[in-house]
Amino acid sequence: SDPRRRVDARTLLEATVESFLPAASAGDVLLTLLPGPPVPITADAFRLRQVLDNVVSNAVKYTPRAGSVTVTADRDGTDAVITVTDTGIGISARDLPLVFEDYFRAETARDSGIPGTGLGMGISRAIVEEHAGSLTIRSKPGAGTTISLRLPLSAPEEV
C-alpha cells in the first residue's frame, strides 16, 4: 500500500523545528520557522520527516554560536518550496557537487571537528526525488548554506 498521504508540509516542519529547538538553544543558535500559508503536499510523512530532520539537524550542528537557522515553507506556482538557511560554516564550491555522494564530508565539516557520517544528504536527495521533487544547495564558506526542497503541491481536494 502506498504510504503517501496529503499532508501540510508546514505541519511537518513545525514538528522538525520543535524537535531541534533544544539543540539549537544549547548551541546558542536561533532556530525559526517563518510564518506562511499551509503548503499541502502528497508525501510519505515519515520519510519526508527524515529529510527535514537531517537538513535542519545539519544546519543547527554546523552553525556557530550566536548564528541562526531560518526555515520557510511557501508555494511557488504548482510547487511547494521549503528552505533551510543557516549562517554556518558553509561548503566550498569544490566540495558542493560532492555533498550528495555517500560518506562524503565537506572539508569545512571535517575541519570543524563535528562528528558525522556523511550519509544524510545522499539519502535525503533520493527520498525527495522519490517524491518527484528536487533538493538543491547553495553555499559560501564562512557565510552559510541554503538548502531548498521543491515538491509538487497536492491538487486541490475534490469537494
Sequential pLDDT tens for the chain (159 residues): 889 999 999 999 999 999 999 999 999 999 999 999 999 999 999 999 999 999 999 999 999 999 999 999 999 999 999 999 999 999 998 888 888 888 788 888 888 888 776 668 999 999 999 999 999 999 999 999 999 999 999 987 655
Length of the chain: 159
DSSP alpha helices (H): ranges in 101-144? 107-112, 120-130
CA nearest neighbour of 71 among 137, 146, 150: 146
Query: Would you state the cell numbers that stand for residue 13, as one nine-digit string?
Result: 516542519
155 C-beta neighbours (distance < 10 Å), count: 10
Integer Cα distance of 151 and 138 in angstroms: 18
φ, ψ of residue 155 to 5 degrees: the values are -65, 150
